[in-house]
Amino acid sequence: MSTLYEKGLDPDAIDDRPSKTRRKKEMHALQDLGEQLVDLSKDRLRQVPLDEGLRGAIELAQRITTHEGKRRQLQYIGKLMRNTDTSAIKTLLDLWSGESKAATAQLHLLERWRERLIENDEVLTEFAAAYPQAQAEIQTLRTCIRNARKEKEMNKPPKAYRELFQLLKQWL
């Protein structure tokens, strides 16, 4: 068996190559990114800067229903993404992820206010102080809270409960 020196190869140059483990991790990361793209709606997918070959592969993966076929298509998408600059795609997906997290946080805030308003009368004063734009419709808000309490006590469908949510949504 001949050594690297005998073959005329520099052993330091060979060490600069990425290891097989590192290449596989990068490949799986691209496949995961491709899977996120496949999970996007058609409207969101149109907003992502992709070349036509990759876009077609993603649209095909969205139509595939069998597990094995989808897995192979995701591998193919990962292969196509090796030749694509993914930084813009990652940035856009992160932005959308942040938007959905912010929207979820907003809904949780609305729900907490609604529950607190139904449980305690003093919270209405606190809400009015925190959101001065609600002052004009404080009586409507008070009526809606009262109706929601009655519905809860009588186990009726939550019509006023939903109405209260919509009112709060205007101001938050």
Number of independent structural domains in the chain: 2
Token duo for residue 151: 């519905």
Q: Give the integer Cα–Cα distance in Å for 33 and 93.
A: 9
Q: pLDDT > 70: what percent of the chain? A: 91
Whether 93 maps to a domain, the answer reads no
Are residues 78 and 135 both part of a single domain?
no
Whether 90 maps to a domain, the answer reads no
**Dihedral (C-alpha) 82, 53, 90, 106: value to the nearest 10 degrees?**
-150
Q: Give the integer Cα–Cα distance in Å for 153 and 149.
A: 6
81-140 tens-digit pLDDT: 998 888 888 888 888 887 778 888 888 999 999 999 999 989 988 988 888 888 888 899
Whether 96 maps to a domain, the answer reads no
Whether 148 maps to a domain, the answer reads yes
In terms of residue numbers, what domain contains 150? 101-171
- Read off the pTM: 0.54
Whether 5 maps to a domain, the answer reads no
In whole numbers, what is the pLDDT of the chain averaged over residues?
87
Are residues 154 and 112 both part of a single domain?
yes
pLDDT at position 13 over 70: no
Token duo for residue 97: 């992820």
Domain harbouring 30, CATH code: 1.10.60.30
> What helix, strand, coil percent values describe the chain, rounded to 5?
80, 0, 20
